[in-house]
Amino acid sequence: MEVKDTKYLRTPLLCAAKSGHPGVVQALLDKGADTKVKDKSNQTALSLIAGKKGFEVIAKLLEDKS
């Protein structure tokens, strides 16, 4: 679940959040994805989507209890 790509060191959750895919984000959260993981630029899933009007993704990340 926490495997990172080699260029940006992003997990599947970071990639899904950055791309604005709320369904994928929710599925990954349901499987236990870590919302605190940071990429090469020290960004979390929330910070990657925050400036992109990804309100649905932001809501899912904020609702997660892990």
pLDDT tops 80 at residue 7: yes
Q: What is the dihedral of CA 38, 42, 44, 47, to 10 degrees?
A: -170
Which residue's structure tokens are 């970071």? 14
Domain chopping of the chain, boundaries: 12-63
**pLDDT tens digits for range 15-50:** 999 999 999 999 999 999 999 999 999 999 999 998
C-alpha span between 21 and 15 (Å, rounded): 9
CB atoms within 10 A of CB 11: 21
C-alpha span between 7 and 1 (Å, rounded): 17
Q: Which two tokens stand for residue 21?
A: 């895919």
Q: Please say whether the structural domain 12-63 has been given the CATH code 1.25.40.20.
A: yes
